[in-house]
Chains A and B, each alone.
Chain A
Amino acid sequence: MVGIIDKAIEDFAAEIGPVGPIAIQGGKTRWDMHGVLAPEARLLSAPTGIVTYKPEEMIVTARAGTTVADLHAHLKKDGQRTSLPDRGGTIGGAIAVGENDLNVLGKGRVRDAVLQIRYISADGEIVSSGAPVVKNVSGFNLHKLFVGSFGTLGLIAEVTLRTNPIPAESMWLTAADMDPLQIFNSLYKPAAVLWDGGSTWVHLEGHTPDVENQKTKLSKMGNFKEIEIGPDLPPFRWSLPPANLYEISQYKMGYSIASIGVGTVWAEHPQPMRSSDRGKQIIEQRLKQQFDPMNRLNPGRKVGNWS
């Protein structure tokens, strides 16, 4: 079996049990997304604590109720971090929501960082998918399904994540009236290039001389000035193909800040439900039936637009 299941996970499974509507409460930072939780659902918190951390393997295993802030504070001592966004909340919540960090180009996507998930099934059983190694094609990738599943297929108990080194240098710059695409294309792997239709913000990360050289390059292109942190982001999040950002005015999103080269847009108004084809809907529905036939996990929430 993949690794050892600790007692905290067994206790969590026992607490969940095999019957009755149930939901896990993390930091509640995205509590209202994908429907309203049925009031009869029993609310539990996932166990907390870092189980193992091996800096030389660039792997950390933590229980799902651990906050992302605590995780990152722990990893920082060894100069490492994960792809999880630093926006409050728990590790399990961050995986269940699946939102990438603002600096996704530098830190990588959440779904690429998840190496193993242990979850409690609708039957109350402990199930593992993936393994605590950085490369693995052994069996089906169940754990991929859990990123962004909002706890509707199983309740996340423990997660193993790939970690990354924290770059030596980090620098935010901003300028007005620049072509953000030109900026994006002129830089080698920027951590983020943001644009609100007027101002452009650039986040550079890497070795100090590389960051300084990129800064010099930017200063030749426009009047960039260094700032402490990036912009405040509007509350709602859109997901668009990166090329669509150049016609962003066609969307009714209000004031917005777009991540160039990525396609994430933070906006004043929420993104309408996106359509999907029949084949995908059928499989999503079947998955829900297979993993939670009694609809006891996070009742009231639904991922995907099947009916």
Chain B
Amino acid sequence: MSLVGRFRKAIGLSTLHDPLVADLQKALSSDRVLQDHEDRLLHSKDESVFEGGIAGPVCFPLTTEEVQSIMKIAQRYDRAVVPRGAGSGLAGGAIPLGAPIVVALTKMNNIIEVDVDNRIAWVEPGVINLELSEYLRPMGFHYAPDPSSQQICTIGGNVANNSGGPHCLADGVTDTHVLAIEVVLPDGEVTRFGGLDPEPEGFDLRGAFIGSEGTLGIATKIAVRLTANPEAVKTILISFPTMRAAAETVSAVIADGIVPAAMEAMDQRTIEVIENHIPAGYPKDVGAVLLVEVEGLPDGIEIDAERICEIATTHQAEDIRIAQNSWQRDALWKGRKSAFGASTYISPNYYLHDTVVPRSALADVLDQVNEIAAKNDLTIMNVFHAGDGNLHPLILFDAEEEGTLERVHAVGAEIVKISLEAGGVLSGEHGIGIEKQQFMNDLFSDEDLNHQNRLRFAFDPLCRINPGKVLPMGHSCADIQTLHKPPEGVWV
């Protein structure tokens, strides 16, 4: 806490001056409602390059009842609420606009119950993704979605973004693995969406809630599906002379009726950066590599692996390495998982983009992406979920260089345009947040967006939860406030 903050706290100025803070502290406790400028600044950013407003009071609830109290207090003071997990989002979804109450759910981090009979686990939203899988693995299970940020991101954040990950190709993203959610609605009502039964009664509100980027309510308990650990796994690293050959192999594998557990691609620059700074033993001087994993029963994965290698060979594969044990498997994955981190050795900043295109368009779209980057004098690393056509161009830049950020955003906009022209979409796993609002009109008609707004309105008629996100300007929850500046006269 800053000197000024300690002084204000010592003399009780902060709570005396703001009845909102006093009420929040009364509902939670004084140490779980942060109000120092530095604390609020810290909770005003995520991992994206975007700027918003500044957090108002930052609350750390421990229970559903405390979240409920926060919602009711927000209603009383007519303040917006922004829920937040680990802040690892890349689209600005958790960035406060204006000066809302920020509800950080990281202290609600208990694995409440593992119910093997129902093949589910009830968890609180602040549970870290990787920690959940590590907890479940000795019991013979894991949690399938494995976003690249899984060491820090939370299950609540995953629900908000409908997160994916390398191993979602065969098993599906978060929506497939979350069965029920306890939610605190904007008016403070607690409800439950979905259920442990296969076809819950009523509209699929669970399905509508997942991926809604914290705009429909706050998840306080989540029932996740337990996925059985595979009996056998085979991990293959295949090198190609060009990314085009790698991309065409991806389409050919799928067309052959094989759905691997994961199929990840890395381009030449990515391989170079990894091998120069965090060596993973990838072959150098190749155009691209595919990291393919098949899992299941022992004989079946042998058949699939053999066929994948045959297909790759007919698509100019130069080198094929198959991990013979878990140590080798970990080594092959090390490169993929280190790619984003490795980029920091060659560039102080990066902007990780996210679009999806049809698999068959991968090669053409990547060529265009690289052309645009070159034209704008920017370097791009391509490391992505090739199996589901989910591109992740990593634009490298130095934010200190004047005008660079503008060029980065211009290239980002071009990547979106190319992806949409190829029949793709704005985002595969990062969400819209504030990053891609302006492109929503390029993907959806006015009527489509009008209906999305109706869905939102049914949950949050006053646009109290995470306003100003997802829907573009011109739709009510985007227009409800002048969001980029704190409202005049309110506590910040």
Interface, chain A (partner B; CB < 8 A): 1-3, 54-59, 79-80, 98-100, 104, 108-109, 111-112, 121, 125-129, 131-142, 144-145, 147-149, 153, 164-166, 181, 188-189, 206-207, 209-210, 213-214, 237, 239-243, 246, 259, 261-264, 273-274, 276-280, 282-284, 286-287, 289-291, 303-305
Contact = CB atoms under 8 A, between A and B. Distances in A.
A225 B259 CA distance: 31
Given A134-B388, A135-B429, A142-B451, A287 B299 contact: no
A279 B185 contact: yes
Contacts of A141: 162, 175, 207-208, 210-212
A277 B203 contact: no
Interface stretch (B321-329, B405-413, B442-450): B442-450
A282 B458 CA distance: 9
Contact of B299 (A58, A59, A148, A210): A210
Contacts of B333: none
25 contacts: A3-B423, A54-B358, A104-B198, A129-B452, A133-B388, A133-B389, A135-B429, A139-B444, A139-B448, A139-B449, A144-B175, A144-B208, A145-B204, A148-B199, A213-B297, A214-B297, A243-B118, A246-B117, A259-B198, A263-B198, A274-B201, A280-B191, A280-B202, A284-B203, A287-B454
Interface stretch (B16-24, B47-55, B250-258, B365-373): B250-258
Contact of A56 (B204, B205, B359, B449): B359
Nearest to B215: A140
A140 B198 contact: no
B297 A287 contact: no
Main secondary structure on chain A at its contact with chain B? loop
B359 A57 contact: yes
B87 interface: no
A144 B428 CA distance: 17
Contacts of A59: 358
A111 B204 contact: yes
Contact of A188 (B254, B296, B385, B428): B296
Top 3 A-B pairs, shortest CB-CB distance? A279-B191, A144-B207, A304-B202
A129 B425 CA distance: 12
Contacts of B300: 206-207, 209-210
B390 interface: yes
A183 B195 CA distance: 25
Contact of A283 (B197, B230, B429, B459): B459
A148 B195 CA distance: 14
B341 interface: no
Interface residues of B, number: 90
Interface string B174-192: 0110000001010001111
Contacts of A136: 356, 425, 427-428
Contact of B197 (A57, A132, A241): A241
Interface string B235-259: 0000000000000000110110111
Contact of A242 (B196, B205, B303): B196
Nearest to A98: B199
B356 A286 contact: no
Contacts of A263: 196-198
A132 B359 CA distance: 11
Nearest to A287: B458
B456 interface: yes
Given A136-B356, A287-B455, A262 B198 contact: yes
A135 B299 contact: no
B455 A137 contact: no
A210 B296 CA distance: 9
B207 A147 contact: yes
Given A133-B357, A142-B208, A280-B193, A1 B455 contact: no
B164 interface: yes
A182 to B, nearest CB: 13
Nearest to A154: B451
Contacts of A129: 448, 451-452
B451 A127 contact: yes
Contact of B303 (A148, A207, A279): A207
A188 B210 contact: no
A189 B436 CA distance: 39
A240 B458 CA distance: 28
Contacts of A139: 426, 432, 440, 443-444, 448-449, 452, 470-471
A241 B199 CA distance: 10
A291 B208 CA distance: 14
B296 A206 contact: yes
Contact of B119 (A126, A242, A274): A242
Count chain B CB atoms within 10 A of each CB in A59, A148, A237, A273 and give the residue with the most: A148
B297 A127 contact: no
Contacts of A273: 201
Given A148-B199, A207-B300, A142 B115 contact: no
Contacts of B191: 277-280, 283
B491 interface: no
Given A209-B300, A283-B205, A291-B451, A264 B198 contact: yes
A138 B443 contact: yes
A188 B231 contact: yes
Interface string B220-233: 00000000101100
Contact of A148 (B161, B189, B203, B428): B203
Interface string B249-285: 0011011011100000000000000000000000000
A55 B199 CA distance: 29
Contacts of B425: 2, 131, 133, 136, 138
Nearest to B440: A139
Given A80-B257, A140-B208, A283-B458, A188 B297 contact: yes
A56 B251 CA distance: 6
B467 to A, nearest CB: 14
Nearest to A5: B445
Nearest to B426: A138
Contacts of A145: 203-205, 207-208, 455
